[in-house]
């Protein structure tokens, strides 16, 4: 492993591609290997133990097969479930993500913030600890958006039933007089337009993809691992679902990206 090695990124499925697009904007010359654990998606209703086992297996794949130099967990649910345990067993730098509670707290005027995230993230002790820093003056209202990750896995980001799930969850938040929305799941970045439609573009919608890309740059620099070549990097998309679904969803969500598809077990 050296500075020309690739960056390993993973999520339960295609949601972490929203983070890939931020990373490839900021670091266009890096090679990226993305693992979608499609067969085990969604992670949102799985136990922390199960998510740890999946994450450990994927990180081993990224290290042993692709010799990656850093890992990005492009998944709030997996970060909340087990980033600490993963950092305890792997010596490679691991960048994780968490809902943007601090920036939302700075932005809200009504002191009422809505959070869209999976049940796993919302129930985790890591998330409870994060909220406890900011709860006080500000009230946070969460919605798990059941069924939404599955729609996005199918690439159905404009389908009427996807909009229905979004609207139903947003109606509950609107009734609480929230004035900022946090996207606490990487999948939900792909339905940002549905949220904008619902609120007629009147409220800020915050995600952490860009902040994670910046954190990754700092990690690479701190470890002397930045790729110094000038040509564009390659993108490999790995999935354990042999059907057409992940490839089609990728083409729908990131129509301009060139990728090489690989299947893992
Ligand atoms: N995209 C993931 C997240 O950020 C996981 C969604 C899921 O698999 O339930 O939480």
Top CATH class, 7-97+209-263? alpha beta
Please state, in angstroms and rounded to a whole number, the distance separating the CA atoms of residues 170 and 159: 17
Q: Which atom from ligand 1 is nearest to the alpha carbon of 45?
A: 9
82 catalytic residue (yes or no) = no
For residue 136, the model assigns a pLDDT of: 87
Q: How far is the centre of ligand 1, averaged over its atoms, from the C-alpha of 188 (Å)?
A: 9
Please state, in angstroms and rounded to a whole number, the distance separating the CA atoms of residues 251 and 53: 29
125-134 and 76-89 are packed helices; what angle lies between their axes, rounded to 10 degrees?
A: 110
Active-site position among 75, 82, 145, 238: 75
- Supply the CATH classification number for the domain 101-206: 3.40.50.1860
Q: How far is the centre of ligand 1, averaged over its atoms, from the C-alpha of 224 (Å)?
A: 30
Q: Which atom from ligand 1 is nearest to the alpha carbon of 46?
A: 9
Instruction: Assess whether the C-beta atom of 124 lies below 6 angstroms from ligand 1.
Output: no
| Structure token pair of residue 162 | 């996807």
The pLDDT tens digits for 30-80 are: 999 999 999 999 999 999 999 999 999 999 999 999 999 999 999 999 999
Alpha-helical runs (H) found in 8-115? 17-26, 48-64, 76-89, 101-107
Instruction: Assess whether the C-beta atom of 18 lies below 6 angstroms from ligand 1.
Output: no
Which residues of the chain fall below pLDDT 70?
none
* CA distance to 29, 62, 70, 100, per residue, from 93 (Å): 19, 13, 5, 21
For residue 162, the model assigns a pLDDT of: 98
For residue 134, the model assigns a pLDDT of: 92
For residue 1, the model assigns a pLDDT of: 85
Q: How far is the centre of ligand 1, averaged over its atoms, from the C-alpha of 76 (Å)?
A: 6
How many other C-beta atoms lie within 10 A of the C-beta of residue 30?
26
Residues of the chain with CATH 3.40.50.1860: 7-97+209-263, 101-206
Please state, in angstroms and rounded to a whole number, the distance separating the CA atoms of residues 94 and 48: 18
185 catalytic residue (yes or no) = yes
């Amino acid at each position: 492993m050296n500075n020309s090695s690739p960056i390993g990124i993973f999520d339960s499925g295609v949601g972490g591609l929203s983070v890939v697009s931020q990373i490839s904007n900021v670091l266009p010359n890096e090679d990226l290997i993305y693992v979608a654990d499609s067969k085990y998606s969604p992670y949102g209703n799985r136990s922390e133990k199960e998510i740890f086992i999946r994450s450990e297996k994927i990180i081993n794949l990224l290290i042993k097969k692709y010799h990656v130099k850093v890992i990005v967990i492009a998944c709030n649910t997996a970060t909340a479930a087990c980033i600490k345990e993963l950092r305890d067993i792997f010596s490679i730098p691991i960048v994780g993500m968490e809902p943007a509670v601090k920036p939302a707290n700075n932005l809200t005027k009504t002191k009422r913030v809505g959070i869209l995230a999976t049940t796993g993230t919302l129930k985790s002790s890591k998330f409870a600890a994060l909220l406890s820093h900011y709860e006080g003056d500000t009230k946070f209202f969460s919605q798990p958006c059941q069924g939404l990750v599955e729609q996005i896995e199918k690439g159905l980001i404009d389908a009427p039933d996807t909009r229905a799930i979004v609207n139903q969850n947003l109606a509950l938040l609107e009734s609480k007089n929230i004035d900022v929305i946090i996207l606490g799941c990487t999948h939900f970045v792909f339905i940002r337009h549905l949220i904008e439609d619902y609120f007629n573009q009147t409220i800020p919608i915050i995600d952490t993809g860009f902040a994670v890309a910046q954190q990754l740059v700092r990690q690479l620099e701190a470890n002397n691992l930045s790729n110094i070549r000038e040509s564009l990097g390659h993108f490999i998309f790995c999935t354990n679902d042999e059907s057409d679904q992940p490839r089609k969803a990728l083409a729908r969500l990131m129509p301009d990206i060139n990728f090489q598809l690989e299947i893992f077990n």
